[in-house]
Each structure stands twice: as structure tokens, then as C-alpha cells.
């Protein structure tokens, strides 16, 4: 990659994820959803399923606008199990003061990656009557984190007084959102703002993702940012249908819905256990195939596996895709 031209010997953050990507390895990140409660054991249990399987793990921030244990606290707990967190931070719940304070706190506690997100609208979650913030948008957040790191200044331009937080900065991109033609430009804006890596929305339409990547490569953007393609195992045909028909900004090809439906052919409806098992095996199988297809696409630097409330699926997926053991970079 051309990125070497801009690189110095020094890492921006020194995170494992940064080192893996910089070394040119195909990166693997996972996702861990904090509990709706204060039980640290939930984090440890999930973290143990992922340690050694992924290079870093996203810790979601009040995902789908449901109040959960904080992403920073959960990330620090996961670090105790040997996992490297990618702290997700949404613009929905905090203004620029709270964000900077949390960034400094997260860095002081050892976090080195942050993923800057707009955040799902609160109407999706369990506090739909909440006030939203959106003081900054995700691009402005990326820019703020970058300036804190590279210029040592707060958003207002004042110097950071004691210890500059140096994060490896991530953003999210949705190749399936509209307006389709604007999406690569939005990626370019995120790069200009300071994104070091981006993770995509769940991909269940590889031809469209390929088309998106072609434009990205034509624009040379893949040489300026590491792009991690988002995948996730489907759990049932109902879930596949729901994602296809109900989730805004998501495209699911019918072939996946059909294959999930086909997985339970011949299994009686009453045998819930067997159906569940068949579905889950098919979900993992499809996910592995997708990773293998995606690895062939030019410009993709890694894979981001989202297995919502099914962290146990990540290991067999990474293993099945031939991506274990994970490389060590010093």
C-alpha cells in the first residue's frame, strides 16, 4: 500500500489493531455488547470467547439506543481478559465536553482505539422519549480526536495540559445506505477528517459491496484508510427476513434468506433445538463463505465480525475462514 509513504516509524497509537494493519496482515475485529446491567462477569464471559481470536474488539456504546454498561468501562474489563478494545462512541448521547472527557479517561485507562459513530436514533431503543445531543456529527468527532492526538489541542483549540490521548481512529461506513453515489465521498470526508480505519455496515450483498469498493479503489481511498468489511452470522430465517425488510440502511440478498430457510427443510417445527442448530450452522457457513469472497476484493484490509449476543460464533467463523492463529506483531 501507498500508505507507507506517509508513515513514520512511529505508530499513531501503538494499538495492536494498528500494528496488525500496518504490518499488512488481514485484520480481524469482533464485537462485544455490554449487558443491560452492572454485572462485570457478563463482560468477562464474552471476552474469554474472543481472546486470541480477534485482533481487537468493538465495545458497543448503548447499541440500538438501549441503555447498557458504558463502552469504556466494559472495554477496560475486557482488557483484563487480554482483549484489546475498540471503544465505540456515539454522538447521540454526549456533547463535545463529555466526549473529550471520556476520551481522556479511556486513554488513561489503557484504551487505544476509538470508533466514532453518529449513533442510532433514540426512537429505536428503550428510551424513545430521551433528548438526543448530536452536538458534533461523526465526522466532526473524528476530526476532534485526530486534532487531540496530532495537534495536542482540545476542540476549542486550547492546548491539552497533561497527557495527549493518542487513539487509532475509526469510523463506520455504510456502503448500502443512500444516496449510494454519495457514500464514497462520505468515506473521503471521514478520511480527510482523520479516520485511520473504517468498518462497514453488515454486508449481505456482496455484488453491491464490490461495486462500492470499485469506486473506492478508483478514488484511491483504500490507500488512505484501512477498510474492514463488516459481516455477521445470521441466526434464523426470521432474522434474515427481518434484516432484509425492516432494518433501515441494510440490504440482504434473497439468496441468504432462502438458504437460511432451506437449512431447516425436513426438520419438524416442534423440534426447536434441531432447527436452532441447523440455522446456526448455516449462519456460520454463510459467514465463512462471505469472508472468503470478501478477502478477494481489492482494497479490503480486514474483516469486522458482528455476532450480536452470539459471541461464541466468532471463533468458529475466524477458524473456518482460515484466519487463526492471529499474527503477533511487535
Partner 1 sequence: MIVGEQKTLDEIMGLLGDAHKVLVAGCGTCVTVSFAGGEKEVGILASQLRMRSKLEGHPMEVDEVTVQRQCEWEYIDPLAPRLGEYDVILSLACGIGVQAMNERFPDSITLPGVNTVFLGMPVEQGIWEERCQACGDCILGLTAGICPIARCSKQLLNGPCGGSQNGVCEVNPDIPCAWQLIWERAVKLGREEWLLEIQPPKDWSKSRDGGPRKIVRDDLRLADME
Closer Cβ to partner 1, 83 or 195, answer by number: 195
Closer Cβ to partner 1, 9 or 181, answer by number: 181
How many residues bind partner 1 (CB under 8 A)? The answer is 39
Peptide bond into 74 cis (omega under 30): no
Supply angle C-alpha 127, 131, 136, rounded to 5. Answer: 120
Which of 42, 77, 193, 303 touches partner 1 (CB under 8 A)?
193
Q: Which of residues 228-257 bind partner 1 (CB under 8 A)?
A: 248-250
Which of 2, 39, 137, 298 touches partner 1 (CB under 8 A)?
137
Kindly state the cell numbers that stand for 214: 470499485
What whole-number distance in Å separates Cα of residue 277 and Cα of residue 113? Answer: 35
Which of 28, 56, 114, 172 touches partner 1 (CB under 8 A)?
172
**Is 150 near partner 1 (CB under 8 A)?**
no
Q: Which of residues 79-98 bind partner 1 (CB under 8 A)?
A: 91-92, 96
Cβ–Cβ < 8 Å for 142, 188: no
Cβ–Cβ < 8 Å for 126, 148: no
Which of 6, 158, 179, 296 touches partner 1 (CB under 8 A)?
179
Kindly state the cell numbers that stand for 238: 426470521
Binding mask 110-129 for partner 1 (x = CB under 8 A): --------xxxx-xx-----
Which of 23, 67, 97, 192 touches partner 1 (CB under 8 A)?
192
Kindly state the cell numbers that stand for 50: 474472543
What whole-number distance in Å separates Cα of residue 83 and Cα of residue 91? Answer: 25
> What minimum distance in Å lies between the beta carbon of 112 and partner 1?
24
**Is 64 near partner 1 (CB under 8 A)?**
no
Q: Cell 470499485 identifies what position?
A: 214
Cβ-in-10-Å burial (0-12, 13-18, 19+) of 14 comes to exposed
Q: What single-letter DSSP state applies at residue 159?
A: B
Count of all residues that appear for the chain in the document: 330
Kindly state the cell numbers that stand for 59: 465495545
**Is 208 near partner 1 (CB under 8 A)?**
no
Residues that bind partner 1 (CB under 8 A): 91-92, 96, 118-121, 123-124, 132, 134-140, 143-144, 155, 172-174, 176-179, 181-182, 185-186, 188-189, 192-193, 201, 248-250
Amino acid at each position: 500500500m501507498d500508505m507507507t509513504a506517509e508513515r513514520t516509524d512511529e505508530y499513531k497509537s501503538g494499538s495492536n489493531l494498528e500494528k496488525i494493519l500496518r504490518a499488512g496482515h488481514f485484520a480481524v475485529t469482533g464485537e462485544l455488547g455490554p449487558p443491560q446491567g452492572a454485572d462485570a462477569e457478563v463482560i468477562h464471559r464474552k471476552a474469554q470467547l474472543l481472546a486470541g481470536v480477534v485482533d481487537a474488539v468493538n465495545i458497543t456504546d448503548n447499541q440500538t439506543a438501549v441503555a447498557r454498561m458504558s463502552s469504556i468501562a466494559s472495554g477496560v474489563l475486557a482488557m483484563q481478559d487480554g482483549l484489546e478494545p475498540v471503544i465505540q462512541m456515539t454522538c447521540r448521547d454526549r456533547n463535545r465536553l463529555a466526549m473529550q472527557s471520556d476520551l481522556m479517561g479511556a486513554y488513561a485507562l489503557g484504551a487505544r482505539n476509538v470508533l466514532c459513530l453518529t449513533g442510532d436514533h433514540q426512537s429505536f431503543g428503550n428510551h424513545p422519549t430521551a433528548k438526543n445531543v448530536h452536538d458534533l456529527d461523526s465526522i466532526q468527532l473524528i476530526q476532534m480526536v485526530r486534532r487531540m492526538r496530532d495537534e495536542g489541542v482540545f476542540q476549542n483549540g486550547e492546548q491539552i495540559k497533561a497527557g495527549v490521548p493518542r487513539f487509532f481512529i475509526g469510523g463506520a461506513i455504510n456502503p448500502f445506505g443512500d444516496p449510494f453515489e454519495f457514500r464514497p465521498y462520505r468515506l473521503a470526508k471521514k478520511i480527510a477528517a482523520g479516520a485511520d480505519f473504517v468498518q462497514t455496515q453488515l454486508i449481505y450483498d456482496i455484488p453491491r459491496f464490490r461495486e462500492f469498493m470499485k469506486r473506492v479503489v478508483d478514488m484511491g481511498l483504500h490507500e488512505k484508510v484501512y477498510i474492514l468489511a463488516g459481516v455477521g452470522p445470521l441466526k434464523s430465517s426470521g432474522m434474515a427476513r427481518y434484516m432484509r425488510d425492516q432494518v433501515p440502511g441494510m440490504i440482504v440478498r434473497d439468496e441468504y434468506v432462502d438458504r437460511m430457510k432451506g437449512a431447516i427443510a425436513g426438520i419438524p417445527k416442534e423440534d426447536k433445538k434441531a432447527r436452532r442448530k441447523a440455522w446456526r450452522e448455516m449462519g456460520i457457513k454463510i459467514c465463512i463463505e462471505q469472508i472468503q469472497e470478501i478477502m478477494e476484493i481489492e482494497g479490503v484490509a480486514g474483516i469486522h465480525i458482528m455476532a450480536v449476543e452470539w459471541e461464541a460464533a466468532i471463533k468458529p467463523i475466524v477458524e473456518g475462514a482460515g484466519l487463526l492463529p492471529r499474527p503477533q506483531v511487535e
